């Protein structure tokens, strides 16, 4: 599905519909449009022709035919479809059609996805398969082309390699918007391959995403000077501000295991006059958490609760993202020519979603999902890719010690609640039957890497 292509005849019909010479296919009347361009709310009707918005104004200026669907949104707010600036679809354990089913009720209509997980297993054909699985579903998927496949060279054996040539091939896809997250360690090593990939993205007019966890000072300047344009790893306001003042976009992350929104938003309120360089992402959220608390709508809601103006919070979930990825002519606003991806909100302070429109079609209305996922066709090469050694036994997953040893001093990975960062500590553990024993009471457990 080419998200960018449009035919001259389509443009002619859009102009005719926008001028009132032919009837719109959908009218949303008596609502309030969230104007993401001027940060205002305006009372206006919205006219849609097929999959695009053609007019903002008075519905009386546009004819209504038998084929025109009229939806009264009196007292409600019309916002652009919400977007996730950085997600790995594979981490949800759902194919795109099923993911759309749980995202639509939360107003999410576009994802900017880095498919490095399927890329590590199946390479280019796996990424193209993922895109094929998005066809015909009410969810736009733009891809951030994986920059690191394998992710940890020398430490893992991947099923594929995405070199400079493969990355260039993927960057040429119409769904491609960027080179996916590149961690600064690889970049600062000076390895030529990474600079070739960045150059491939920039020369095509596309973005280069960063992975700049805890990077600051001289090293941060160096990474940004090399062409990286954004980061989704900030865990504090100070870290976010240092990146923003140097021109990087900050993706404020709130997902399942990493929850950074409150610390960042609280810390930047009162310090930032313009939020254009702040955007929302999940960088991944488990399906049960999406169903329980929401997705990007949750991020918007939480930001509003913390004191962000509702219009600004909506901009962070829509127009800011579209502008950063250079697709704001397609999505990110309720405005003529843009795709008719619209969220109808009944309470702007609580971000209560009444209905959702995708591509000019109502796909969610007053609590009812009007979409049934199509059956996915998965090719044979993408099945049974996990092949664990059948002879694996429990003893393979624990650490053995020499005979006569009763205790062991071990390295421990300390998990920081709701953060991606970890710390190292050292603890004494008992030895039982020649193996170092876990200690559940102290939450000290074995961890293993298993060849798939």
pLDDT digits (tens, 9 = 90+) for 111-121: 999 999 999 99
Residues contacting residue 294 through CB under 8 Å, at least 6 positions apart? 106, 301
Which of 48, 43, 35 has the alpha carbon at shortest distance from 76?
43
Average pLDDT score over the chain: 95
Residue 327 to residues 3, 152, 296, 318: CA-CA distances in angstroms? 10, 31, 19, 11
Residue 44 burial (C-beta neighbours within 10 Å; 0-12, 13-18, 19+): buried
Residues 6+ apart with CB under 8 A from 331: 80, 81, 83, 109, 110, 140, 318, 322, 338, 339, 341
Cis previous bond, 150, omega within 30: yes
Q: Is residue 341 over pLDDT 70? A: yes
Between residues 389 and 302, the one the model is more confident about = 302
Confidence at 190, pLDDT banded by 50, 70, 90: confident
Say how many C-beta atoms besides its own lie within 10 A of residue 266's C-beta. 12
Could you tell me the sign of the dihedral formed by the alpha carbons of 226, 227, 231, 234, in that order? positive
List, for residues 271-308, the tens digit of each pLDDT value.
Answer: 999 999 999 999 999 999 999 999 999 999 999 999 99
Neighbours of 24 (CB within 10 A): 29
Q: Which residue has the tokens 């926008």?
A: 18
- 132-183, pLDDT tens digit by residue? 999 999 999 999 999 999 988 777 888 999 999 999 999 999 999 999 999 8
State residue 369 phi and psi, 5-degree precision.
Answer: -80, 125
Task: Identify the structural domains of the chain with CATH numbers, from first to last.
Answer: 81-329 (3.20.20.140), 394-442 (no CATH)
Q: Are 284 and 256 in contact (CB under 8 A)?
A: yes
Question: At 188, is the pLDDT very low, low, confident or very high (cuts 50, 70, 90)?
Answer: confident
Mean pLDDT on 405-422: 89
> How much is the pLDDT for 1?
57
Percent of the chain whose pLDDT exceeds 90: 85
Find the mean pLDDT for residues 226-239: 97
Q: What confidence tier does 452 reach under pLDDT thresholds 50, 70, 90?
A: confident
Kindly report, residue by residue over 17-61, the tens digit of the pLDDT: 999 999 999 999 999 999 999 999 999 999 999 999 999 999 999
* Cα–Cα distance, 74 to 28 (Å, whole number): 9
Q: Looking at residue 153, what is its pLDDT?
A: 79
CB count in 10 Å sphere of residue 68: 17
Q: How far apart are CA 424 and CA 422, in angstroms?
A: 7
Q: Which whole number is the average pLDDT over 122-140? A: 97
Q: What is the pLDDT of residue 126?
A: 98
Which of residues 418 and 301 earns the better pLDDT score?
Answer: 301
Side-chain half-sphere CA neighbours of 86 within 13 A: 29
- Number of alpha carbons in the 13 Å side-chain half-sphere of residue 134: 23
Q: Which two tokens stand for residue 265?
A: 């938003």
Higher-pLDDT residue of 378 and 188 is 378
For residues 342-359, give the mean pLDDT.
Answer: 98
CA 56 – CA 43 distance, rounded (Å): 10
């Amino acid at each position: 599905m080419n998200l960018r292509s449009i035919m001259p005849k389509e443009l002619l019909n859009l102009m005719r519909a926008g001028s009132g010479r032919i009837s719109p296919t959908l009218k949303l009347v008596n609502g309030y449009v969230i104007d993401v361009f001027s940060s205002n709310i305006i009372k206006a009707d919205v006219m849609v022709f097929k999959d695009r918005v053609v007019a903002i104004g008075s519905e009386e200026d546009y004819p209504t035919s038998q084929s025109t669907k009229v939806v009264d949104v009196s007292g409600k707010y019309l916002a652009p479809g919400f977007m996730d600036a950085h997600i790995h679809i594979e981490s949800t354990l759902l194919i795109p059609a099923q993911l759309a089913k749980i995202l639509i009720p939360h107003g999410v209509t576009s994802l900017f996805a880095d498919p490095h997980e399927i890329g590590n297993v199946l390479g280019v054909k796996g990424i193209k398969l993922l895109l094929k699985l998005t066809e015909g579903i009410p969810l736009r998927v733009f891809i951030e082309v994986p920059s690191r496949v394998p992710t940890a060279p020398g430490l893992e054996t991947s099923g594929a390699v995405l070199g400079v040539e493969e990355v260039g091939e993927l960057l040429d896809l119409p769904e491609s918007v960027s080179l996916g997250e590149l961690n600064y360690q690889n970049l600062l090593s000076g390895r030529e391959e990474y600079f070739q990939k960045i150059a491939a993205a920039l020369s095509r007019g596309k973005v280069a995403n960063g992975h700049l966890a805890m990077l600051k000072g001289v090293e941060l300047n160096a990474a940004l000077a090399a062409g990286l344009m954004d980061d989704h790893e900030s865990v504090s306001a100070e870290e976010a501000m240092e990146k923003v003042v140097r021109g990087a976009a900050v993706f404020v992350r709130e997902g399942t295991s990493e929850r950074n929104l409150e610390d960042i938003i609280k810390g930047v309120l009162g310090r930032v006059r313009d939020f254009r360089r702040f955007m929302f992402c999940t960088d991944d959220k488990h399906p049960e958490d999406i169903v329980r608390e929401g997705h990007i709508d949750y991020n918007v809601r939480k930001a509003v609760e913390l004191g962000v103006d509702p219009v600004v919070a909506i901009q962070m979930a829509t127009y800011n993202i579209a502008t950063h990825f250079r697709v704001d002519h397609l999505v990110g606003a309720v405005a003529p020519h843009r795709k008719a991806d619209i969220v109808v909100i009944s309470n702007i302070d609580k971000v209560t979603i009444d209905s959702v429109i995708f591509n000019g079609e109502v796909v969610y209305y007053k609590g009812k999902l009007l979409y049934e996922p199509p059956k996915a066709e998965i090719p044979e090469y993408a099945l049974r890719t996990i092949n664990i050694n059948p002879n694996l036994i429990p003893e393979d997953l624990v650490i053995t010690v020499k005979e006569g040893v009763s205790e062991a001093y071990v390295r421990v990975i300390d998990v920081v609640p709701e953060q991606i960062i970890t710390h190292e500590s050292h603890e004494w553990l008992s030895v039982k039957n020649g193996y170092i024993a876990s200690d559940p009471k102290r939450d000290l457990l074995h961890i293993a890497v298993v060849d798939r």
